[in-house]
Structure 1
Protein backbone atom coordinates (compact mmCIF):
# COMPACT_ATOMS: atom_id res chain seq x y z
CA UNK A 1 0.00 0.00 0.00
CA UNK A 2 1.33 3.45 -0.90
CA UNK A 3 2.08 6.13 1.68
CA UNK A 4 1.28 9.78 1.06
CA UNK A 5 4.03 12.18 2.13
CA UNK A 6 5.06 15.83 2.08
CA UNK A 7 8.56 17.23 2.54
CA UNK A 8 9.29 20.94 2.95
CA UNK A 9 12.63 22.76 2.75
CA UNK A 10 13.59 26.46 2.77
CA UNK A 11 16.91 27.97 1.73
CA UNK A 12 18.19 31.55 1.67
CA UNK A 13 20.11 32.31 -1.53
CA UNK A 14 22.52 35.13 -2.36
CA UNK A 15 20.89 35.73 -5.74
CA UNK A 16 18.00 37.57 -7.34
CA UNK A 17 14.69 35.82 -8.10
CA UNK A 18 15.62 35.91 -11.78
CA UNK A 19 18.91 34.13 -11.11
CA UNK A 20 17.16 31.52 -8.96
CA UNK A 21 14.61 30.91 -11.70
CA UNK A 22 17.37 30.27 -14.24
CA UNK A 23 18.91 27.79 -11.83
CA UNK A 24 15.73 25.77 -11.20
CA UNK A 25 13.81 26.12 -14.49
CA UNK A 26 16.40 25.54 -17.23
CA UNK A 27 18.36 22.41 -18.10
CA UNK A 28 21.83 24.04 -17.91
CA UNK A 29 20.88 25.73 -14.63
CA UNK A 30 19.68 22.50 -13.01
CA UNK A 31 22.75 20.62 -14.27
CA UNK A 32 24.87 23.12 -12.32
CA UNK A 33 23.69 21.91 -8.89
CA UNK A 34 21.39 18.84 -9.12
CA UNK A 35 21.99 15.18 -9.94
CA UNK A 36 22.25 13.74 -13.47
CA UNK A 37 21.30 15.70 -16.57
CA UNK A 38 18.02 17.55 -17.04
CA UNK A 39 16.08 18.82 -20.05
CA UNK A 40 13.23 21.30 -19.66
CA UNK A 41 10.47 22.18 -22.13
CA UNK A 42 9.42 25.60 -20.77
CA UNK A 43 5.84 26.48 -20.00
CA UNK A 44 2.86 24.87 -18.32
CA UNK A 45 2.27 21.47 -19.89
CA UNK A 46 5.92 21.17 -20.89
CA UNK A 47 7.99 18.15 -19.96
CA UNK A 48 11.11 17.76 -17.85
CA UNK A 49 13.47 14.80 -18.28
CA UNK A 50 16.04 13.75 -15.70
CA UNK A 51 18.62 11.20 -16.88
CA UNK A 52 20.69 9.47 -14.22
CA UNK A 53 22.70 6.23 -14.58
CA UNK A 54 20.79 5.35 -17.75
CA UNK A 55 17.37 5.84 -16.12
CA UNK A 56 15.05 8.57 -17.41
CA UNK A 57 12.35 10.14 -15.22
CA UNK A 58 9.82 12.43 -16.90
CA UNK A 59 7.47 14.96 -15.35
CA UNK A 60 4.81 17.35 -16.61
CA UNK A 61 5.07 21.02 -15.65
CA UNK A 62 1.88 21.99 -13.79
CA UNK A 63 2.78 25.59 -12.88
CA UNK A 64 5.09 28.03 -14.70
CA UNK A 65 5.34 31.56 -13.27
CA UNK A 66 8.83 32.86 -14.10
CA UNK A 67 10.57 34.31 -11.08
CA UNK A 68 7.78 33.16 -8.75
CA UNK A 69 6.59 29.54 -8.94
CA UNK A 70 7.44 26.28 -10.68
CA UNK A 71 5.75 22.90 -10.19
CA UNK A 72 5.82 19.52 -11.91
CA UNK A 73 4.50 16.01 -11.38
CA UNK A 74 5.29 12.51 -12.59
CA UNK A 75 2.64 10.15 -13.92
CA UNK A 76 1.45 7.55 -11.37
CA UNK A 77 3.23 4.20 -11.61
CA UNK A 78 1.19 0.96 -11.72
CA UNK A 79 1.47 0.73 -7.91
CA UNK A 80 0.13 4.28 -7.52
CA UNK A 81 3.40 5.93 -6.56
CA UNK A 82 4.19 9.38 -7.98
CA UNK A 83 6.22 12.49 -7.18
CA UNK A 84 5.25 16.17 -7.29
CA UNK A 85 7.57 19.16 -6.86
CA UNK A 86 6.81 22.81 -6.19
CA UNK A 87 9.29 25.69 -5.93
CA UNK A 88 8.20 29.05 -4.51
CA UNK A 89 10.52 32.03 -5.03
CA UNK A 90 10.35 35.11 -2.80
CA UNK A 91 12.68 38.07 -3.28
CA UNK A 92 14.34 39.63 -0.23
CA UNK A 93 16.28 42.81 0.48
CA UNK A 94 19.72 43.42 -1.03
CA UNK A 95 19.23 41.03 -3.93
CA UNK A 96 18.73 37.84 -1.90
CA UNK A 97 15.95 35.28 -2.32
CA UNK A 98 14.13 32.67 -0.26
CA UNK A 99 13.40 29.44 -2.11
CA UNK A 100 10.73 27.19 -0.63
CA UNK A 101 10.57 23.62 -1.86
CA UNK A 102 7.62 21.27 -1.36
CA UNK A 103 7.96 17.65 -2.46
CA UNK A 104 4.93 15.43 -2.13
CA UNK A 105 3.31 12.32 -3.55
CA UNK A 106 3.00 8.62 -2.77
CA UNK A 107 5.92 6.35 -1.81
CA UNK A 108 6.07 2.55 -1.84
CA UNK A 109 6.41 0.04 0.99
CA UNK A 110 9.92 1.17 1.95
CA UNK A 111 8.65 4.70 2.35
CA UNK A 112 10.38 5.52 5.65
CA UNK A 113 13.86 4.82 4.27
CA UNK A 114 13.08 6.69 1.05
CA UNK A 115 11.62 9.68 2.91
CA UNK A 116 14.68 9.98 5.16
CA UNK A 117 17.03 9.71 2.17
CA UNK A 118 15.15 12.45 0.30
CA UNK A 119 15.32 14.82 3.24
CA UNK A 120 19.07 14.40 3.66
CA UNK A 121 19.63 14.50 -0.09
CA UNK A 122 17.82 17.81 -0.40
CA UNK A 123 20.08 19.29 2.30
CA UNK A 124 23.06 18.49 0.06
CA UNK A 125 21.46 19.64 -3.19
CA UNK A 126 20.11 22.89 -1.77
CA UNK A 127 23.51 23.54 -0.19
CA UNK A 128 25.01 22.98 -3.63
CA UNK A 129 22.45 25.35 -5.19
CA UNK A 130 23.44 28.02 -2.65
CA UNK A 131 27.14 27.49 -3.44
CA UNK A 132 26.47 27.64 -7.17
CA UNK A 133 24.60 30.93 -7.01
CA UNK A 134 27.05 32.50 -4.55
CA UNK A 135 30.31 31.47 -6.23
CA UNK A 136 29.49 30.83 -9.91
CA UNK A 137 26.78 33.36 -10.84
CA UNK A 138 26.01 33.60 -14.53
CA UNK A 139 27.92 30.40 -15.33
CA UNK A 140 26.75 26.87 -16.03
CA UNK A 141 28.47 23.57 -15.29
CA UNK A 142 29.21 20.29 -16.98
CA UNK A 143 27.79 17.52 -14.75
CA UNK A 144 30.10 14.57 -14.07
CA UNK A 145 28.80 11.39 -12.40
CA UNK A 146 30.34 8.12 -11.19
CA UNK A 147 29.11 5.26 -9.01
CA UNK A 148 30.56 2.39 -6.99
CA UNK A 149 28.30 0.00 -5.06
CA UNK A 150 29.27 -2.15 -2.08
CA UNK A 151 31.85 0.16 -0.50
CA UNK A 152 31.70 -1.38 2.98
CA UNK A 153 29.56 1.14 4.82
CA UNK A 154 29.93 4.78 5.83
CA UNK A 155 32.38 4.07 8.65
CA UNK A 156 34.72 2.43 6.15
CA UNK A 157 34.35 4.67 3.12
CA UNK A 158 34.67 8.18 4.58
CA UNK A 159 38.15 7.78 6.12
CA UNK A 160 39.32 6.38 2.78
CA UNK A 161 37.77 9.33 0.89
CA UNK A 162 39.35 11.77 3.36
CA UNK A 163 42.78 10.26 2.74
CA UNK A 164 42.25 10.38 -1.05
CA UNK A 165 41.33 14.07 -0.72
CA UNK A 166 44.48 14.80 1.27
CA UNK A 167 42.61 15.49 4.52
CA UNK A 168 44.06 14.28 7.81
CA UNK A 169 41.36 13.19 10.24
CA UNK A 170 37.57 13.39 9.90
CA UNK A 171 36.16 15.51 7.08
CA UNK A 172 34.79 18.86 8.26
CA UNK A 173 33.79 22.16 6.68
CA UNK A 174 36.70 24.50 6.04
CA UNK A 175 39.38 21.85 5.61
CA UNK A 176 41.74 22.26 2.67
CA UNK A 177 41.62 19.57 -0.03
CA UNK A 178 44.37 18.44 -2.41
CA UNK A 179 43.56 15.56 -4.72
CA UNK A 180 44.91 14.01 -7.91
CA UNK A 181 42.69 12.20 -10.40
CA UNK A 182 44.66 10.56 -13.21
CA UNK A 183 44.07 12.34 -16.51
CA UNK A 184 42.53 15.46 -14.95
CA UNK A 185 44.01 18.72 -13.61
CA UNK A 186 44.99 18.68 -9.90
CA UNK A 187 42.20 19.58 -7.50
CA UNK A 188 42.74 22.14 -4.73
CA UNK A 189 39.84 23.49 -2.73
CA UNK A 190 37.95 23.50 0.53
CA UNK A 191 35.32 21.29 2.13
CA UNK A 192 32.17 23.42 1.88
CA UNK A 193 29.57 20.81 2.90
CA UNK A 194 29.94 18.08 5.53
CA UNK A 195 26.71 16.20 6.16
CA UNK A 196 28.31 13.00 7.43
CA UNK A 197 27.72 10.11 7.38
CA UNK A 198 25.84 10.82 4.14
CA UNK A 199 27.62 13.47 2.06
CA UNK A 200 30.65 15.72 1.64
CA UNK A 201 31.16 18.64 -0.74
CA UNK A 202 34.33 20.29 -2.00
CA UNK A 203 34.46 23.70 -3.70
CA UNK A 204 37.35 24.79 -5.91
CA UNK A 205 37.84 27.81 -8.12
CA UNK A 206 36.12 26.08 -11.05
CA UNK A 207 34.02 23.22 -9.66
CA UNK A 208 31.68 21.85 -7.00
CA UNK A 209 32.56 18.24 -6.17
CA UNK A 210 29.92 16.15 -4.37
CA UNK A 211 30.40 12.74 -2.72
CA UNK A 212 27.33 10.86 -1.43
CA UNK A 213 27.00 7.55 0.42
CA UNK A 214 23.66 5.95 -0.43
CA UNK A 215 23.29 4.04 2.84
CA UNK A 216 23.29 0.31 3.53
CA UNK A 217 19.64 -0.06 2.47
CA UNK A 218 20.22 1.64 -0.89
CA UNK A 219 23.15 -0.28 -2.34
CA UNK A 220 25.93 0.84 0.05
CA UNK A 221 27.19 2.95 -2.86
CA UNK A 222 29.53 5.90 -3.12
CA UNK A 223 28.01 8.26 -5.69
CA UNK A 224 29.86 11.19 -7.23
CA UNK A 225 27.86 14.09 -8.63
CA UNK A 226 30.28 16.83 -9.67
CA UNK A 227 29.64 20.19 -11.38
CA UNK A 228 32.61 21.52 -13.35
CA UNK A 229 32.49 25.14 -14.49
CA UNK A 230 35.84 25.25 -16.31
CA UNK A 231 35.40 25.66 -20.09
CA UNK A 232 36.18 22.99 -22.66
CA UNK A 233 35.12 19.98 -20.60
CA UNK A 234 34.91 16.46 -22.03
CA UNK A 235 32.23 14.83 -19.82
CA UNK A 236 32.90 11.27 -21.01
CA UNK A 237 36.63 11.59 -20.32
CA UNK A 238 36.02 13.13 -16.90
CA UNK A 239 33.51 10.43 -15.94
CA UNK A 240 35.96 7.68 -16.96
CA UNK A 241 38.68 9.31 -14.86
CA UNK A 242 36.44 9.59 -11.80
CA UNK A 243 35.13 6.05 -12.27
CA UNK A 244 38.73 4.82 -12.29
CA UNK A 245 39.40 6.88 -9.14
CA UNK A 246 36.43 5.23 -7.44
CA UNK A 247 37.51 1.76 -8.53
CA UNK A 248 40.96 2.31 -7.03
CA UNK A 249 39.68 3.24 -3.56
CA UNK A 250 40.59 0.49 -1.05
CA UNK A 251 37.02 -0.16 0.11
CA UNK A 252 34.43 -2.89 -0.28
Structure 2
Protein backbone atom coordinates (compact mmCIF):
# COMPACT_ATOMS: atom_id res chain seq x y z
CA UNK A 1 0.00 0.00 0.00
CA UNK A 2 1.33 3.45 -0.94
CA UNK A 3 2.25 5.76 1.92
CA UNK A 4 4.03 9.09 2.17
CA UNK A 5 7.30 9.50 4.06
CA UNK A 6 9.39 12.43 5.28
CA UNK A 7 12.94 12.36 6.69
CA UNK A 8 14.10 15.66 8.23
CA UNK A 9 17.59 16.48 9.45
CA UNK A 10 19.15 19.75 10.63
CA UNK A 11 22.83 20.40 11.38
CA UNK A 12 25.57 23.03 11.43
CA UNK A 13 28.90 22.65 9.67
CA UNK A 14 32.22 24.51 9.56
CA UNK A 15 31.71 25.72 6.01
CA UNK A 16 30.20 28.76 4.35
CA UNK A 17 26.77 28.53 2.69
CA UNK A 18 28.55 28.88 -0.65
CA UNK A 19 30.76 25.88 0.11
CA UNK A 20 27.75 23.78 1.10
CA UNK A 21 25.93 24.85 -2.06
CA UNK A 22 28.90 23.89 -4.23
CA UNK A 23 29.09 20.47 -2.57
CA UNK A 24 25.42 19.64 -3.12
CA UNK A 25 25.10 21.00 -6.66
CA UNK A 26 28.44 20.29 -8.36
CA UNK A 27 27.82 16.71 -9.39
CA UNK A 28 27.76 15.67 -5.69
CA UNK A 29 30.45 13.05 -6.22
CA UNK A 30 32.41 14.37 -3.27
CA UNK A 31 30.04 12.83 -0.72
CA UNK A 32 27.45 10.78 -2.66
CA UNK A 33 28.33 9.60 -6.15
CA UNK A 34 28.83 11.38 -9.48
CA UNK A 35 25.58 12.42 -11.09
CA UNK A 36 24.12 15.09 -13.31
CA UNK A 37 24.35 18.50 -11.65
CA UNK A 38 21.02 20.35 -11.42
CA UNK A 39 20.29 22.89 -14.11
CA UNK A 40 20.47 26.25 -12.27
CA UNK A 41 16.87 27.38 -12.63
CA UNK A 42 13.36 26.45 -11.57
CA UNK A 43 12.07 23.95 -14.09
CA UNK A 44 15.55 22.78 -14.94
CA UNK A 45 16.59 19.16 -15.20
CA UNK A 46 18.46 17.26 -12.50
CA UNK A 47 19.74 13.75 -11.81
CA UNK A 48 17.69 10.69 -12.76
CA UNK A 49 15.16 12.72 -14.74
CA UNK A 50 14.09 14.88 -11.80
CA UNK A 51 13.08 18.54 -11.97
CA UNK A 52 14.35 21.58 -10.08
CA UNK A 53 11.38 23.11 -8.25
CA UNK A 54 13.31 25.63 -6.10
CA UNK A 55 16.65 27.26 -6.92
CA UNK A 56 17.95 30.17 -4.87
CA UNK A 57 21.74 29.93 -4.61
CA UNK A 58 23.19 29.43 -2.04
CA UNK A 59 20.12 29.09 0.17
CA UNK A 60 17.39 26.83 -1.23
CA UNK A 61 17.39 23.84 -3.56
CA UNK A 62 14.53 21.41 -4.15
CA UNK A 63 14.57 18.59 -6.67
CA UNK A 64 11.47 16.50 -7.35
CA UNK A 65 10.83 13.36 -9.36
CA UNK A 66 7.40 11.88 -10.06
CA UNK A 67 8.86 9.09 -12.20
CA UNK A 68 11.37 7.45 -9.88
CA UNK A 69 11.77 4.38 -12.07
CA UNK A 70 11.69 1.77 -9.30
CA UNK A 71 8.65 -0.32 -8.33
CA UNK A 72 8.73 0.53 -4.61
CA UNK A 73 8.59 4.32 -4.95
CA UNK A 74 6.38 6.66 -6.97
CA UNK A 75 7.55 10.11 -5.77
CA UNK A 76 10.88 11.43 -4.50
CA UNK A 77 11.83 14.94 -3.36
CA UNK A 78 15.05 16.32 -1.89
CA UNK A 79 15.14 19.77 -0.30
CA UNK A 80 18.10 21.72 1.12
CA UNK A 81 17.68 24.98 3.03
CA UNK A 82 20.98 26.69 3.91
CA UNK A 83 21.50 29.68 6.20
CA UNK A 84 24.62 31.52 7.33
CA UNK A 85 25.81 31.33 10.92
CA UNK A 86 28.63 33.15 12.77
CA UNK A 87 28.81 35.97 10.26
CA UNK A 88 28.86 33.57 7.31
CA UNK A 89 31.75 31.44 8.55
CA UNK A 90 29.45 28.51 9.32
CA UNK A 91 26.28 27.16 7.76
CA UNK A 92 23.06 25.71 9.12
CA UNK A 93 21.44 23.12 6.85
CA UNK A 94 17.91 21.71 6.87
CA UNK A 95 17.58 18.60 4.71
CA UNK A 96 14.23 17.02 3.90
CA UNK A 97 13.82 13.80 1.94
CA UNK A 98 10.18 13.06 1.20
CA UNK A 99 8.05 11.09 -1.19
CA UNK A 100 5.87 8.01 -1.50
CA UNK A 101 6.89 4.41 -0.95
CA UNK A 102 4.52 2.01 -2.68
CA UNK A 103 5.60 -1.22 -0.96
CA UNK A 104 7.58 -2.56 2.02
CA UNK A 105 7.19 0.82 3.73
CA UNK A 106 8.78 0.10 7.13
CA UNK A 107 11.89 -1.49 5.64
CA UNK A 108 12.30 1.19 2.98
CA UNK A 109 11.85 4.02 5.46
CA UNK A 110 14.32 2.50 7.92
CA UNK A 111 16.94 2.09 5.21
CA UNK A 112 16.42 5.58 3.79
CA UNK A 113 16.53 7.18 7.24
CA UNK A 114 19.75 5.47 8.30
CA UNK A 115 21.41 6.10 4.93
CA UNK A 116 20.47 9.79 5.26
CA UNK A 117 22.42 10.09 8.51
CA UNK A 118 25.48 8.47 6.95
CA UNK A 119 25.37 10.53 3.74
CA UNK A 120 24.99 13.80 5.63
CA UNK A 121 27.85 12.83 7.93
CA UNK A 122 29.98 12.21 4.83
CA UNK A 123 28.97 15.63 3.51
CA UNK A 124 30.22 17.22 6.73
CA UNK A 125 33.45 15.20 6.56
CA UNK A 126 34.04 16.39 3.00
CA UNK A 127 33.33 20.03 3.83
CA UNK A 128 35.49 19.95 6.95
CA UNK A 129 38.51 18.03 5.62
CA UNK A 130 38.59 18.02 1.80
CA UNK A 131 36.58 20.79 0.13
CA UNK A 132 37.05 22.01 -2.54
CA UNK A 133 39.36 19.23 -3.71
CA UNK A 134 37.99 17.27 -6.71
CA UNK A 135 37.12 13.64 -6.12
CA UNK A 136 37.76 10.37 -7.91
CA UNK A 137 34.91 8.02 -7.04
CA UNK A 138 34.61 4.23 -7.06
CA UNK A 139 31.97 1.89 -5.67
CA UNK A 140 31.40 -1.84 -5.52
CA UNK A 141 29.26 -4.51 -3.90
CA UNK A 142 30.04 -7.83 -2.31
CA UNK A 143 28.79 -11.18 -3.67
CA UNK A 144 25.41 -12.68 -2.80
CA UNK A 145 26.79 -14.04 0.48
CA UNK A 146 27.39 -10.41 1.54
CA UNK A 147 23.62 -10.16 2.12
CA UNK A 148 23.73 -12.48 5.14
CA UNK A 149 22.76 -11.09 8.57
CA UNK A 150 26.33 -10.96 9.88
CA UNK A 151 27.96 -9.75 6.68
CA UNK A 152 28.97 -6.29 7.90
CA UNK A 153 30.57 -7.79 11.01
CA UNK A 154 32.73 -9.95 8.74
CA UNK A 155 34.01 -6.84 6.96
CA UNK A 156 34.73 -5.05 10.24
CA UNK A 157 36.71 -8.06 11.43
CA UNK A 158 38.62 -8.27 8.14
CA UNK A 159 39.45 -4.57 8.33
CA UNK A 160 40.97 -5.20 11.75
CA UNK A 161 38.54 -3.01 13.66
CA UNK A 162 38.40 -3.89 17.33
CA UNK A 163 34.96 -4.36 18.82
CA UNK A 164 35.42 -1.33 21.06
CA UNK A 165 36.87 0.96 18.37
CA UNK A 166 34.73 4.11 18.30
CA UNK A 167 34.35 7.19 16.09
CA UNK A 168 37.34 9.46 16.53
CA UNK A 169 39.80 6.62 17.13
CA UNK A 170 42.88 6.28 14.96
CA UNK A 171 43.05 2.75 13.56
CA UNK A 172 45.34 0.63 11.42
CA UNK A 173 43.22 -0.81 8.63
CA UNK A 174 43.88 -4.10 6.84
CA UNK A 175 42.19 -3.52 3.49
CA UNK A 176 43.73 -4.20 0.07
CA UNK A 177 46.81 -2.72 1.72
CA UNK A 178 47.50 -1.70 5.30
CA UNK A 179 46.93 1.98 6.07
CA UNK A 180 46.23 4.31 8.98
CA UNK A 181 42.89 6.10 9.23
CA UNK A 182 40.47 7.85 11.52
CA UNK A 183 37.34 5.85 12.24
CA UNK A 184 34.95 8.72 11.56
CA UNK A 185 31.65 6.77 11.70
CA UNK A 186 30.55 3.47 13.14
CA UNK A 187 27.23 1.94 14.08
CA UNK A 188 25.62 -1.46 13.40
CA UNK A 189 24.84 -0.38 9.83
CA UNK A 190 27.80 1.61 8.47
CA UNK A 191 31.53 2.21 8.85
CA UNK A 192 33.37 5.37 7.78
CA UNK A 193 37.14 5.66 7.45
CA UNK A 194 39.03 8.90 6.73
CA UNK A 195 42.63 9.13 5.58
CA UNK A 196 44.59 12.21 4.53
CA UNK A 197 43.40 11.69 0.95
CA UNK A 198 40.21 9.64 1.03
CA UNK A 199 36.86 8.82 2.56
CA UNK A 200 36.08 5.09 2.54
CA UNK A 201 32.46 4.20 3.24
CA UNK A 202 31.23 0.70 4.10
CA UNK A 203 27.47 0.14 3.78
CA UNK A 204 25.87 -2.68 5.75
CA UNK A 205 23.00 -3.03 3.30
CA UNK A 206 22.69 -6.65 4.37
CA UNK A 207 20.32 -5.27 7.04
CA UNK A 208 17.86 -4.52 4.23
CA UNK A 209 18.40 -7.62 2.12
CA UNK A 210 21.14 -6.31 -0.20
CA UNK A 211 24.89 -7.01 -0.30
CA UNK A 212 27.42 -5.04 1.72
CA UNK A 213 28.87 -2.27 -0.44
CA UNK A 214 31.92 0.00 -0.36
CA UNK A 215 32.55 3.41 -1.86
CA UNK A 216 35.89 5.17 -2.15
CA UNK A 217 36.05 8.97 -2.42
CA UNK A 218 39.70 9.54 -3.36
CA UNK A 219 41.01 13.13 -3.31
CA UNK A 220 44.64 12.36 -4.20
CA UNK A 221 45.96 14.06 -7.34
CA UNK A 222 46.94 10.71 -8.90
CA UNK A 223 43.79 8.80 -7.88
CA UNK A 224 42.60 6.07 -10.26
CA UNK A 225 38.99 4.90 -9.90
CA UNK A 226 39.56 1.62 -11.76
CA UNK A 227 42.53 0.70 -9.59
CA UNK A 228 40.60 1.49 -6.40
CA UNK A 229 37.53 -0.45 -7.51
CA UNK A 230 39.51 -3.51 -8.56
CA UNK A 231 41.61 -3.61 -5.40
CA UNK A 232 38.65 -3.28 -3.06
CA UNK A 233 36.49 -5.69 -5.08
CA UNK A 234 39.15 -8.41 -4.91
CA UNK A 235 39.55 -7.79 -1.18
CA UNK A 236 35.81 -7.80 -0.48
CA UNK A 237 35.24 -10.98 -2.47
CA UNK A 238 37.96 -12.68 -0.44
CA UNK A 239 36.27 -11.61 2.78
CA UNK A 240 33.27 -13.67 1.72
CA UNK A 241 35.28 -16.59 0.41
CA UNK A 242 34.92 -15.70 -3.26
CA UNK A 243 38.00 -16.07 -5.49
CA UNK A 244 38.38 -15.55 -9.20
TM-score normalised over the length of structure 1? 0.86
Retained in 2: the 8 A contact 1:211–1:225?
yes
Retained in 2: the 8 A contact 1:40–1:46?
no
Q: Point out 4+ residue stretches in structure 1 off by more than 6 angstroms.
A: none
Q: Does 1:150 align with 2:140?
A: no
- Of 110, 113, 138, the residue aligned with 1:116 is 110
Match of 1:172 in 2: 166
Measure, in 2, the Cα distance between the counterparts of 1:77 and 1:139.
31
Q: CA deviation at 1:198?
A: 0.6
Q: CA deviation at 1:230?
A: 0.5
Measure, in 2, the Cα distance between the counterparts of 1:77 and 1:141.
27
Q: CA deviation at 1:33?
A: 0.6
Q: Does 1:192 align with 2:190?
A: no
The C-alpha deviation readout for 1:92-149, integer Å capped at 9, x for no partner, is 0151111101111111111111111111001101111111111112212111101014
Other structure's SS at 1:8 match: strand
Q: CA deviation at 1:157?
A: 3.1
1:65-214 equivalences under 5 Å are 65-76=56-67, 81-93=74-86, 95-148=89-142, 149-151=144-146, 153-158=148-153, 160-182=154-176, 186-194=178-186, 196-214=187-205
Retained in 2: the 8 A contact 1:141–1:227?
yes
Which has the larger share of strand?
A: 1
Measure, in 1, the Cα distance between the counterparts of 2:214 and 2:34.
13
RMSD: 2.1
Measure, in 1, the Cα distance between the counterparts of 2:94 and 2:217.
23
Match of 1:46 in 2: 44
- Of 209, 220, 241, the residue aligned with 1:218 is 209
* CA distance 1:113–1:251, change in 2 (3 Å): farther
- Of 18, 30, 33, the residue aligned with 2:31 is 33
Q: CA deviation at 1:73?
A: 0.8
Aligned residues: 237
Q: Does 1:19 align with 2:19?
A: yes
